[in-house]
Amino acid sequence: MGKVLVVYFSAQGHTKRVAEMIAGELGADIFEIQPSEPYYDEDLDWTDNGSRVVREHSNEAEREMELVQLRPDNWAEYDTIILGYPIWWGIAAWPVDAFLRGNDFTNKIVIPFATSHSSPLGDSDRLLAAKASGMREWREGIRFSQDAGEDVVKAWLGELGLVSSEE
Ligand SMILES: Cc1cc2nc3c(=O)[nH]c(=O)nc-3n(C[C@H](O)[C@H](O)[C@H](O)COP(=O)(O)O)c2cc1C
């Protein structure tokens, strides 16, 4: 699958931890999707009707956002993008949307993964695929529990043929 870049968005650290595990296993480069306006704890309070995520969830136009860096360095060099995101209300956390819309995926393979408390991957990866342009292939994704261990992550990389599953 050529040169791999692990790209992730993480508001609370769980997806970051899994992304770092993947990059560590593969010896791959890693890139964090960072909204220019970061999410603070109070922004993520889904029990507060006035919080930022609740407003963005109920109004799609509010999900548009600028990123600190839209295009990873040396973007053209990567053949495969492993893309990680948290599940928010059953779909992919939307800071990923800006990354997908703003980059050219021509000739790239995208392999998504999500972390969640309990929700499955659902349609989250399929909905994201529609937002990226020109990619060579969008693979079926996987959902990890928010506290996924190294064993399950490594087993997945083994299934993808990215690491040897034999020790
Ligand atoms: C706004 C918000 C909405 C969430 N919605 C869901 C959900 O629908 N289903 C679920 O299982 N977990 C949900 N979670 C939990 C996260 O998906 C889970 O903790 C994830 O691992 C967080 O990743 P992060 O730490 O990288 O941000 C939600 C969390 C937040 C902050």
Q: Judge whether 66 and 33 are in contact, CB under 8 Å.
A: no
Of the residues 117, 124, 127, 142, which should be mutated to test ligand 1's pocket, given the most ligand atoms within 8 Å of the CB? Answer: 117
pLDDT tens for 145-154 read 999 999 999 9
Segments forming the whole domain that contains residue 123: 4-159
pLDDT tens for 152-163 read 999 999 999 998
Give domain status of residue 124, yes or no: yes
pLDDT confidence of residue 133 = 85
CATH number of the domain that 87 lies in? 3.40.50.360
CA triple 18-24-145, angle to 5 deg: 15
pLDDT confidence of residue 167 = 52
Of the residues 12, 30, 43, which should be mutated to test ligand 1's pocket, given the most ligand atoms within 8 Å of the CB? Answer: 12
Give domain status of residue 165, yes or no: no
pLDDT confidence of residue 165 = 58
Give domain status of residue 166, yes or no: no
Q: How many domains does the chain have?
A: 1
Give domain status of residue 167, yes or no: no
Q: Judge whether 85 and 114 are in contact, CB under 8 Å.
A: yes
Give domain status of residue 164, yes or no: no
Give domain status of residue 89, yes or no: yes
Q: Give mean pLDDT, residues 108-114.
A: 98
Tell me the pTM: 0.97
Residue 144 has pLDDT above 80, yes or no: yes
| CA–CA gap between residue 87 and residue 127 (Å, rounded) | 12
Q: Given pLDDT bands bounded at 50, 70 and 90, which one contains residue 166?
A: low
| CA–CA gap between residue 125 and residue 122 (Å, rounded) | 8
pLDDT confidence of residue 14 = 98
pLDDT tens for 27-50 read 999 999 999 999 999 999 999 999
Which residues have a Cβ under 8 Å from the Cβ of 38 and sit 6 or more positions away? none
